[in-house]
Amino acid sequence: MAMGLAAVALAAALAVPAQAHGEGRPPHWELKQTGTDVRFRGLAAVSRNSAWLAGSAGTVLRTDDGGRTWRDVSPAGAQDLQFRDVEAFDARRAVVLAIGEGEASRVYRTDDGGATWTESFRNTDPRAFYDCLTFLDPRHGLAMSDPVDGKFRILSTKDGGRSWKVLPNEGMPPALEGEAGFAASGQCLVGAGPRDVWLATGGAARARVLHSADRGLTWTAADTPVPAGDPARGIFALAFRDRAHGIAVGGDYRADQPSPQAAATTGDAGRTWAAAAQPPPAYRSGVAWLPYSRTAALAVGPTGTDLTTDGGRTWRTVDTGSYDTVDCAPDRGCWAAGEKGRVARLEN
Residues 114, 92: Cα–Cα separation, whole Å: 7
Model confidence, pTM = 0.95
pLDDT tens digits along 70-114:
999 999 999 999 999 999 999 999 999 999 999 999 999 999 999
Largest CA distance in the chain: 62
What burial letters (b/e) apply to 61-80, b meaning 16+ CB within 10 Å?
bbbbebbeebeebbbeebee
Give the SS3 label for residue 133.
strand
What does pLDDT average to over the chain?
95
pLDDT tens digits along 239-266:
999 999 999 999 999 999 999 999 999 9
Confidence band of 1 (pLDDT split at 50, 70, 90): very low
Confidence (pLDDT) at 24: 59
Confidence band of 7 (pLDDT split at 50, 70, 90): low
Backbone angles phi, psi at 6, to 5 degrees: -65, -45
Residues 226, 86: Cα–Cα separation, whole Å: 26
Give the SS3 label for residue 199.
strand
Confidence (pLDDT) at 150: 98
Confidence band of 20 (pLDDT split at 50, 70, 90): very low
pLDDT tens digits along 159-197:
999 999 999 999 999 999 999 999 999 999 999 999 999
Q: How do 28-32 and 118-122 pair as beta strands?
A: unpaired
pLDDT at 2 over 50: no
Residues 280, 249: Cα–Cα separation, whole Å: 9
Q: How far is CA 111 from CA 91, 108, 273, in A?
A: 9, 11, 39
Q: Tell me the β-bridge partners of 247.
A: 239, 265
Residues 242, 233: Cα–Cα separation, whole Å: 26
pLDDT tens digits along 262-275:
999 999 999 999 99
